[in-house]
Amino acid sequence: MSAERKPKTNPRTAERVGGSVKKPERHNGDEPEFKALFHAWLESHRASLVDSVSRLFKQPIGSFFTCLVMAVALSLPMGLALLLDNVERLGGSWQRAAQISLFMQLEVDAEAGTKLRDEVAAMPDVAEAQWVGREQALEEFQQLSGLGEALKELPENPLPGVILVTPEEVDKDKLEALRQRLADLPGVQQAQLDLLWVERLTAILTLGDRFVFGLTLLLVATLLLVIGNTIRLHIENRRTEIEVVKLVGGTDGYVRRPFLYMGALYGLGAGLIAWLLLAYGLGWLNEAVVRLAGLYGSDFGLQGVPAGDGLSLVVGAVLLGYIGAWLAVARHLSELAPR
């Protein structure tokens, strides 16, 4: 009688337990595939970042001067923009330079003028309204004109009360519409607005903004060229290594990654240096500005670099470094095929 054939059990896939087949449990060491890939991706990025940092520190002088050149190019447009903001603050505000003066009729007293001032201040396009009574206007005119003694001989005050209206924004069409609306108010004899000064002011602001914008575009292009040429030199120095990596199956993303980190690190260093240059430069210039303003009886002083602008400068520098490195590697990646 032949022996009974027993069913074979693969110990790698199942085991005999109480007459039934049970699949082996997955051990904790057998991680799911996506988790293993994620850990490998993180490890690859960490290794690329460490490699980029070490290569920059191996050439500290060259890395520093590259960051310094980028920092100077970054600090110029930001510095000009900050100076324009300080000049605007020096003038009080551009809106005050475009005030509308409402000359009241002589019979309008202080109570009626104050009431009308409150109505004007509540209008949507008005930022502020100020009442100047007849007596106050006469005193100011005496001080500014130098005719104080002659004005005292007048039988009565010839100056009317005035409401000084500060608009919300400086726009020629809106200001003219607001002036016409204010001129139709009861008790207003004349509404005066120096439109020529407004046009000059707008032209000056537009010129300054366009100059800073054009300079920014020019220096951004310069930064991209600087970082691109720097990354190109790094690529040439590692050409043999890159060809070997691609020969054993390295992907374009794997080859590109350390250079992108290197460009971002260059941008980070340049942004921090530019922030320090701006802070020190404005502080150094502020000493002379405070001394000059003090001679004119003013307490004006330059404001430093706001934290938000400084952080924006650093983030923008990192992005420029990253983009410049990407463009440089993309241009030379086709040449890096193994020979």
Query: Would 14 be classed as within a structural domain?
Result: no
Lowest pLDDT segment from 62-66, 165-169, 226-230: 165-169
Q: Which of 146, 175, 193 is the last residue of a domain?
A: 193
Query: Would 240 be classed as within a structural domain?
Result: yes
Total residues belonging to the chain:
339
**Tens-digit pLDDT profile for residues 238-275:** 887 777 877 787 777 778 888 899 999 999 999 999 99
Query: Would 8 be classed as within a structural domain?
Result: no
pLDDT of amino acid 15: 39
Q: Are residues 214 and 272 in the same domain?
A: yes
Q: Which of 145, 173, 193 is the last residue of a domain?
A: 193
Query: What percent of the chain is predicted at pLDDT more than 90?
Result: 11
CATH number, residue 123: 3.30.70.3040
Q: Are residues 297 and 219 in the same domain?
A: yes
Mean pLDDT of 13-30: 43
Q: Are residues 152 and 287 in the same domain?
A: no
Q: How many domains, in total, are found in the chain?
A: 2
Report which of residues 20 and 239 the model is more confident about.
Answer: 239
pTM for the full predicted model: 0.63
pLDDT at 276 over 90: yes
Query: Would 313 be classed as within a structural domain?
Result: yes
Domain interval for residue 313? 46-92+201-336
Q: Are residues 230 and 104 in the same domain?
A: no
Confidence of residue 153 (pLDDT cuts 50, 70, 90): low
Q: Which of 193, 219, 235 is the last residue of a domain?
A: 193
Ordered DSSP codes for 73-136: HHHHHHHHHHHHHHHHHHTS-HHHHTPEEEEEPTT--HHHHHHHHHHHHTSTTEEEEEEE-HHH
Write out the two tokens for 149. 């003694």
